[in-house]
């Protein structure tokens, strides 16, 4: 699969490494420009590119950037794209965003509203980067970690769930983007390594 990754920090860098190791074609970009990604590209065989390079030919695009940066992106670039939202809203970093502070919108719904033409799926936001790097396990392994996957587009969600499987994690359908608040920070599944039953229970136990 041709995958674009926006952001080269903990999660973006980890997904670049993992997805390249699985044989996917990855173009990675960040706000500092391709020259800042020389080492990551050399290490992984990924392409360091501009935002346009990462998105235009991609079958799937990963957002691993601060939430506050989303409105700065050219929304039309993402028309028709399958976008994985791995972001979390942290007020101390992202500033006061009224709809997210009062939780009238999930952060993924807020992101989707900025990218009207994209098919947004929420995943990879609740797992620590080192665990995403090292703790994938084959299907049926007793210590396999499950990851919640939320989205409105059934087909897009299925593609993403298959990618989660390929990475060695158990995908759990977490409902729509409006329900994705159940996997945001300060919920039972955030930052934990639960199995599928544990993720389902944690999603059910979440409170606004």
What secondary structure letter does DSSP report for 145? Answer: P
Query: 128 to each of 14, 36, 62, 114, 161, how far by Cα in Å?
Result: 10, 24, 16, 26, 18
CB 33 within 8 A of CB 52: no
Q: What is the pLDDT along the chain (208 residues), one digit of tens a residue?
A: 999 999 999 999 999 999 999 999 999 999 999 999 999 999 999 999 999 999 999 999 999 999 999 999 999 999 999 999 999 999 999 999 999 999 999 999 999 999 999 999 999 999 999 999 999 999 999 999 999 999 999 999 999 999 999 999 999 999 999 999 999 999 999 999 999 999 999 999 999 8
The closest of 53, 116, 59 to 84, measured between CA atoms, is 59
Sign, CA dihedral 123-129-135-138, equals positive
CB 62 within 8 A of CB 55: no
Residue 97: how many other CB atoms lie within 10 Å: 17
Note down the domain range covering 185. Answer: 2-205
The model scores a pTM over 0.75? yes
Q: What is the CATH number of the domain that holds 198?
A: 3.40.50.720
CB 79 within 8 A of CB 117: yes
Q: Give the tens place of pLDDT for each residue, 167-191.
A: 999 999 999 999 999 999 999 999 9
CB 161 within 8 A of CB 173: yes
CB 31 within 8 A of CB 51: no
CB 153 within 8 A of CB 121: yes
What phi-psi label fits residue 52: left (phi over 0), alpha (psi between -120 and 50 degrees) or beta?
alpha
Angle at 193 between CA 190 and CA 197, to 5 degrees: 95
How many domains does one find in the chain? 1
d(CA 102, CA 113): 17
């Amino acid at each position: 699969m041709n995958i674009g990754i926006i952001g080269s920090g903990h999660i973006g860098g980890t997904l670049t490494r993992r997805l390249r190791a699985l044989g996917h074609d990855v173009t990675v970009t960040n706000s500092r420009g391709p020259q800042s990604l020389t080492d990551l590209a050399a290490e992984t065989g990924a392409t360091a590119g501009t935002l346009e390079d990462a998105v235009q030919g991609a079958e799937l695009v990963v957002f691993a950037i601060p939430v506050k940066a989303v409105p700065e992106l050219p929304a039309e670039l993402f028309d028709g794209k399958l976008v994985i939202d791995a972001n979390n809203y942290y007020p101390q970093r992202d500033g006061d965003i009224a709809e997210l502070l009062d939780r009238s919108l999930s952060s993924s719904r807020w992101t989707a509203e900025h990218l009207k033409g994209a098919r947004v799926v929420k995943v990879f936001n609740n797992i620590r980067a080192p665990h995403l790097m090292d703790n994938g396990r084959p299907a049926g392994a007793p210590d396999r970690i499950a990851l919640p996957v939320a989205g409105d587009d059934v087909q897009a969600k299925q593609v993403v769930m298959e990618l989660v499987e390929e990475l060695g994690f158990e995908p759990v359908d977490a409902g729509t983007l409006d329900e994705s608040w159940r996997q945001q920070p300060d919920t039972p599944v955030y930052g934990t390594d639960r199995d599928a039953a544990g993720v389902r229970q944690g999603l059910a136990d979440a409170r606004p």
